[in-house]
Structure 1
Amino acid sequence: MVQVIAKTKPVTFEEFAQWKLEGGLYELHDGVIIEMPQPVGEHEEVKGFLINELAFEYRRLNLPYFLPNQAFVKVPDGESAYLPDILILNRPNLVNEPLWKKSSTVTQGVSIPLVIEVVSTNWRVDYLTKVKDYEEIGIVEYWIVDYLGLGGRRFIGSPKQPTILIHELIDEEYQITQFRGDEVIVSPTFPELILTANQIFQAGT
């Protein structure tokens, strides 16, 4: 469960960046500092599998991308900054990112070909808050990898089951496609990627 760090008033991103403690995982949600829980092992196995597969794919295609270890995605006109599970960055555009060199933070959709959240117990943030904010930023592709089927029934149906939701930005709005079981996922950013939903889910078993 996430933990709210008590403050007497809302915090700006600049204050958050200066305050951030070493060794902890924190996000800023509308001016409130949130301490993120340490991920469980299965979560990290799914994440690690996807990192390896995606890194291989962009290297194979000779794309100017890289995967930072820890970098924030900030809403340009707000006081929210997220630390995605997987963030692929477009290196050539980082010269246009005013917060990159000092704070390892990006605010422009053109800098972010793909962002992925592997769902934990705080699934509402991934399914609701981040969908809205990533869409506003203009991130062209956003995956929600719900390997435990934790999300609400209005998102993944009933009975709940492990699901990957790929959000593709079309005409400034996300269009959502679901993938389950042995269905091969379809990635707009990596159209030649061949992975089934189960291959991703089983990385954590």
Structure 2
Amino acid sequence: MTQALQRKLITFSEFVARYPDNTGKRYELHDGVVIEISQPTGDHEEITGFLATKLPVEYDRLKLPYFIPKTALVKPPENESGYSPDILIINRSNLVNEPLWKKESTVTLGASIPLVIEVVSTNWRTDYYTKRGMYEEIGIQEYWIVDYLALAGKSFIGNTKQPTISIYSLVESEYQISQFRGSDRILSPTFPEFNFTAQQIFNAGNI
């Protein structure tokens, strides 16, 4: 769940100057509105932790200059928004082209972001509507939505409402979707040898 903190719209520059504070809370900026991100559930954190442990094995094996930052933001172009994904993989070699990286640990270019992942909580519409559109506009090559509780509407995950991992891959500037459930092996264009099933991810590796 998310909560708007103010009525007056602020710019992205004002946002990074004020937030986050020292309370340990997470915030995002959505079209000028500061959103406080609620404390996630234990299952959410286990799944996020599992992926944040296994994906680095892949980019290390491939000798790619990638890393997962702790609190970096993603800013869409021409938009007063800033997102804090559950998992953000950054291409270190492109950071020289990022105007906001050194001072604000913020990335704005698709070439800097090979993969971003959102693990769905109660604000599923933000992940499926808002962020999908913004990540596509930025040019992020791959976007995963891990909907382990099948919270999204039927138009997104099907009439049977099963836990689903949706992988959006950028093809000619538009996202194409592949979906994985149960024993389906994840097929990632960025990490083609990522050898886990959807259910293994939902179980955070615990069989």
Give ranges in structure 2 of 5+ residues lacking alignment: none
Alignment-derived partner of residue 77 in structure 2: 76
Deviations 1:50-90 (A, max 9, x none): 01110111111111000001110001110011000000000
Q: In the alignment, is residue 64 of structure 1 matched against residue 65 of structure 2?
A: yes
TM-score, normalised via structure 2 length: 0.96
Alignment-derived partner of residue 11 in structure 1: 10
Alignment-derived partner of residue 156 in structure 2: 155
Alpha-carbon deviation of 1:204? Answer: 7.8
Letter in 2 for 1:118: V
Mapped partners of 2:105, 2:162: distance in 1:
35
Mapped partners of 1:103, 1:204: distance in 2:
34
Deviations 1:15-58 (A, max 9, x none): 00011122220000000000000111000000000011101111
- Size of the aligned set, in residue pairs, is 204
Letter in 1 for 2:5: I
Letter in 2 for 1:40: T
- The DSSP-based 3-state class of the residue aligned with 1:203 is coil
Mapped partners of 1:176, 1:30: distance in 2:
26
Identity %: 64
Contact 1:141 1:169 in 2 (8 A): yes
Matches within 5 A, 1:95-114: 95-114=96-115
Give ranges in structure 1 of 5+ residues lacking alignment: none
Alignment-derived partner of residue 170 in structure 1: 171
Mapped partners of 1:72, 1:204: distance in 2:
28
Measured on the aligned residues, the alpha-carbon RMSD in Å equals 1.0
Residues 5, 204 of structure 1: CA spacing in aligned structure 2 closer, same or farther, 3 A cutoff? farther
Mapped partners of 1:4, 1:184: distance in 2:
38
- The DSSP-based 3-state class of the residue aligned with 1:63 is coil
Mapped partners of 1:96, 1:174: distance in 2:
24
Alpha-carbon deviation of 1:194? Answer: 0.8
Mapped partners of 1:2, 1:86: distance in 2:
18
- The DSSP-based 3-state class of the residue aligned with 1:83 is coil
Mapped partners of 1:26, 1:92: distance in 2:
27
Alignment-derived partner of residue 46 in structure 1: 47
Mapped partners of 2:87, 2:196: distance in 1:
17
Mapped partners of 2:49, 2:187: distance in 1:
20
